[in-house]
Homo-oligomer: A and B are copies of this chain.
Amino acid sequence: MKFESQPSYSLGQRTPASREVAVGENGGNVTLVSQSALGAINRGRVLQALYDNGPKSRADLARLAGVNRTTITGIVQPMIEDQLLIEGDASPSDVKGGKPARPLYFNPDAPMLGAVLLLPGTIQTCLVALTGEIKAVAKAEFDTHGDTEAFIAVMTETLTATLSQAQQAPFGIGVASAGMIDSDNGTILTVNLAPVLTGLPLVAILQERFSLPVAIDHHPRALLVGDRWFGPGRGQQNFAAVYTGEVLGGAFFIDGKVYRGLAGSGGELGHTVVQIDGAPCNCGKHGCWETVAALPWLRKEAARMGLPHPKSITCARLVKEADEGSNAAEELLVRYTRNVAFGIVNLQQTLSLNSYVLHGDVAGGGMKAAELIRQHVEQLVVKRPGQEISITVNGIGEGHTALRGAAGLVLSSHLKLVI
């Protein structure tokens, strides 16, 4: 299946294969900004402002961006003509007098984004509208230890089933995957529980089959992007997403952009050390954060303390049992959230992002878990005048955040938001 290319301002335009500059020395990656690039940048920023702030009139956008109204008109008009944006009804506005503003927002019928969530053994695909709406969900399973060709066949089939339901060619495809991902080169490095994926150049494969821009990143970073575009991180310029469950991971939104680190390897928080020479970890080291703040620790402690059904313990159940009066559950919950807090404290001391969105198991603990973690963090962080730290949970519709985030990856990486 092939799709036609996009309109001239193109959400999905690929970067022009960054010229090979071989003057070398030490990399020498200075790049000047050209006039034409400038247009693309500003178009991207206007779109992001619309995402971040909801429907807004041209005049509002101009004020928001600190530019002339005419500039906004120039940027926005072609998008309206291409039906990416639509002009809402003239709202009477809150101020008295004056011509009523016409709010602009994304056309619900504009092209959508393809999204893939790749976890060991399962593929989930869907279409995501620019408004965050999810459609055409499809699921499939694959043999984690099987043949690469077989996996690619299943993947292509599932994705085709989803994409074919789109009215128009999607802007692109975003993939969120478990494991270690090289997002620069678009390859899956390793997925512990799915060896079939090792070394798979998935971006190249999908780009070739579907002729669309494709972006890939690891699961926590997709959650981050999902939070940023459609969740509690909307409009924020600095925050982190933290995932806890069988493993721990994180991702950062710094100064208005997704932080990836070299080859996309930033945010592997599970194996930061919080207990020198502590308990052994799967990674072969000792005292990793993962050894004290992930589900295996929780199960082990629940068993040790004699809590019921320790093998299936979750933060959600812990909160429930604590609320029902179990002192043991309360005590374990406090210790668990404190252990989680240490990782956030270290992040805070290092990056000072001040805002954290929790996913996965602790998110299942809801407000109560978040508040406990916030208290621990507050207590453990070196105080700084005027600093407020916010901890939010985004556990509801877990899978949807990851899928929306996968879709958002395409937006983030192909809308040149930052130079």
Contacts and interface: CB of A to CB of B under 8 A. Distances in A.
Contacts of A45: 30-32
A318 to B, nearest CB: 20
A23 B346 contact: no
A97 interface: no
A107 interface: no
Interface residues of A, number: 81
A386 interface: yes
B386 A263 contact: yes
Interface string A202-241: 0000000000000000000000000000000011111000
Interface centre among A265, A353, A386, A418 (most CB of B within 10 A): A265
A308 interface: no
A66 B32 contact: yes
A235 B25 contact: yes
Interface centre among A29, A180, A278, A382 (most CB of B within 10 A): A382
A271 B41 contact: no
Given A32-B46, A52-B26, A386-B263, A275 B272 contact: no
B189 A382 contact: no
B52 A28 contact: yes
A33 B26 contact: no
A60 interface: yes
Interface string A106-136: 0000000000000000000000000000000
11 contacts: A23-B60, A25-B52, A26-B53, A26-B234, A27-B237, A28-B53, A33-B41, A274-B274, A274-B275, A285-B382, A350-B350
